[in-house]
Amino acid sequence: MKTVILAGGFGTRLQEKTTVVPKPMIEIGGKPILWHIMGIFAAQGHKEFCVALGYKGELIKNYFLNYYHLQRNLTITLNHSKIKVHNDPGNRNRDLEDWIIHLVDTGSETLTGGRIKRLASWLRNEAFLMTYGDGVANVDVRKLLDFHRKHGKLATVTIVRPPARFGNMQLEGDRIVSFFEKPQMGEGWINGGFFVLEPKVLDYIEGNETSFERAPLENLAADGQLMAYKHESFWQCMDTLRDVHLLESLWRSGKAPWKIR
């Protein structure tokens, strides 16, 4: 089963970084968040990806085109354009990810639904996983798929509780004696990505100007074809610099909840 990742948006709420790189290429722990998202699926056996490119998509292509050599020690003979790859006795030359990655241009102005529709020929009329290129979670993909297959509808969306935006602090006078991030809020559910979609879902998408989160999901719901998989554990999107810093601190702690392998 292929995994579609929508990676073509402008990332306007993160303009501090997205004027230079597309949002999915913003790094957490030295790796693009796109790599982290792919790792969530790959660690659970889903290693073939269709990445829908748009804004600055050439930077995503360049990253994966050069990925193998960037992880290796090299000798380059310039006048013959010859490259020799060296084994490293240390840990640097670990086995690389055995992923298959289809990098597909879907247009810089195309909306989310249109990006999915333009991948139709790559999906070959098969069910597929789909998520956004800016959010991580410790979703159990096997349980998500089991849930989808049991209900037999066209679409499943993983719903999550939104993270609270501020931390709690306990004071003694003016001194902070404890600080901790609030857990995800206990009220309300939102679209957390991590979809399972049957091929007929593409019939609900008109074209490039269709936002998947509007008419397609609204009409699927109206037709009784949209089911919700509740994920009450870790989920975090990357919409602001504060989110970037939070994800970075979690990764550096060695306890990033989305790190499966």
**Predicted confidence band of residue 161 (pLDDT cuts 50, 70, 90):** confident
Fold of domain 3-69+99-252? Spore Coat Polysaccharide Biosynthesis Protein SpsA; Chain A (3.90.550)
Closest-CA residue to 205 (of 141, 99, 130, 256): 130
Q: Are 158 and 194 in contact (CB under 8 A)?
A: yes
Comparing 13 with 105, the larger pLDDT belongs to 105
- Average pLDDT estimate for 131-139: 97
> For 210-254, how does the pLDDT look when each residue is reduced to its tens digit (9 = 90+)?
999 999 999 999 999 999 999 999 999 999 999 999 999 999 999
Separation of alpha carbons 22 and 18, rounded Å: 5
Total number of residues shown for the chain: 261
Structure tokens at 149: 């297959």
Using the predicted structure, report yes or no on whether residue 185 has a pLDDT greater than 70: no
The whole-number pLDDT of residue 174 equals 47
Comparing 58 with 69, the larger pLDDT belongs to 58
User: Mean pLDDT of all residues in the chain?
Assistant: 89
**Predicted confidence band of residue 101 (pLDDT cuts 50, 70, 90):** very high
Using the predicted structure, report yes or no on whether residue 197 has a pLDDT greater than 80: yes
Hey, what amino acid is at 36?
H
Separation of alpha carbons 13 and 237, rounded Å: 12
Q: Are 60 and 6 in contact (CB under 8 A)?
A: no
